[in-house]
Structure 1
Amino acid sequence: MLNIAYRAAFAGALFSLAGPSLAQPIAVSPVASDAAADAQPVVQVPAAPASYTLPALFAVDLTVVDEVSSKLAKSGDPVRLRLARPIYVTPDLGLPEGTVVEGMVIHAAKGGMGGKSGELLIAAQRILLDNSVAIALRSFQVNPAQGRDNQGVAMGLMIAGGAVGGIAGMLITGGSARVAAGTNASAKTRSATELPASLLVKLPRQDPLYTSPMPVPAFTTQGN
């Protein structure tokens, strides 16, 4: 009997010693958790390009700001133009509608007696963004229905670039050749031009995108 009691007491002692240790939670080393976090890949966000290329022969829609007439104009007179539509160089960066465009009177001759027609040759020269960046233009044309003489008759004649010092312009003839304020016109970029991103403005987003920092065709709201 004493032997049985001794065995029961010995078993209880073993249970009291082993039980609490088995009930203890297993501690997780923080070192393993930190190592797993360090193993996660780091996503690199590419930096925005510093500049974009506007390609050569890119079509630009223009508006004539002030009337130009062969009665008053002289060779070398400035012609005020503006962008009729924005130029996009990314889906949301570019030059806004209304951007100033510089033009010039290349040749002007008044109409005379004996039916001599007035002559007016004007050209779009450039879009000046700052003192070091300008977009040179060529192939200026006005809407043929809007360049008129005083009798409502007009004729447009494209002049080769070499004939006017490398600036392609448009000759309007008539009794008093003139281009009215608000006349729609167009031109093209003369050569590919690097445009610093800092000189571009945020525009309403347009897709698809046809430009990148490489010299590929840019996207605009008008056709080329």
Structure 2
Amino acid sequence: MEVEYSEDHWRLLKEKREKALEIVRALSRTVHPSLIVIHGSVARGDVNPGSDVDVAIVEPVPPGLVEEALAASGLIIYKRVIVMATPRSTPKAYLVLDPSEERVVSLPLARLQPREREFYAWGGEVDPAGLERDVRVPGVTKRLVLILPTPRGHIEEPVVGNEGRVAEVLGISLETVRERVRVLTRRRELGRTGVYLKVEPRPGEPLEETVRRLSASNPFFRRMISGRRG
């Protein structure tokens, strides 16, 4: 099924992408553009007014440098949180840039596992150069619909029963596709599921200090941060 975008939709997409570009340009002060991706609906194009502007750094970078780069560009960090989805997941820091939590920068606190890295391609990821050129990319929604951009909008295809094609289109492993289908199907059946660990730094506490504190108190966190994941 093809969905044709209205003028309002194109205008909204442009607004969301301009917000993403502002973040990318700020991060590029200290982070190489090859380590930055824009992912989700802003990368695919199928945005709505409630869509988040998600920018991710895909390799470990000192959080303090990231915060300094954002601040130097006038971007305010309203909330900082460290999240570890499961005891075997790589912890990530999330920097929220507005009270409505629309704009979010994420960065891993250790090297991502291969399947975790493919998560961004699963939802659709575009690099800074592609964003500058207004490139849109294929990706999968939370409703398990594959979005294929077209000049007029996008084509929608079901993921379930089409896993092999989805893996080929997105350039990711079939195992990753099957895992995401399992996770999202379970979430749809059971409702929103919790995460293993979610911690906000103490007031005035650098993120690096929060990481040290959690490493000292939580063996699962310490193992994932250290890279000893066996």
Q: State the TM-score, normalized to the length of structure 1.
A: 0.22
Q: Which has the higher helix share?
A: 2
TM-score norm. by structure 2 comes to 0.22
Larger radius of gyration: 1
